[in-house]
Amino acid sequence: MRQQPRTPRTSIVSEPPSASATIGGGFAFVALVIALLWAVSYPVLAASIVLVGAAAVGVVRTGGRALARRLHGRITELSIPGVATVRISVSPN
């Protein structure tokens, strides 16, 4: 009689949890669900908040560029007594 080779038993392999399966990810998911439910309950207020946020980002980006153009080439020295003098120069990208 011919015997077949024994195959090793496969057991359940415990793999470490993925990076997204963390407590922080769980809290973020719950916060997102709550925010979506709030936005559905108050759509006009939610849309207003999103529009104000987008406008603020646009103003900051435009103002930052204008400030960089205005300060281009200007060198400012900051003296830290007893330590050093720091020279700061601004150049736009």
pLDDT in tens, 60-80: 888 888 877 777 777 888 888
For 68, list phi and psi in degrees, rounded to 5. -65, -40
Kindly state the average pLDDT of the residues 35-49.
94
pLDDT at position 8 is 64
Three-class secondary structure of residue 76 per DSSP: strand
Cα gap 92→73, rounded to integer Å: 10
Beta bridge partners of 77: 87
pLDDT category at 17 given cuts 50, 70, 90 is low
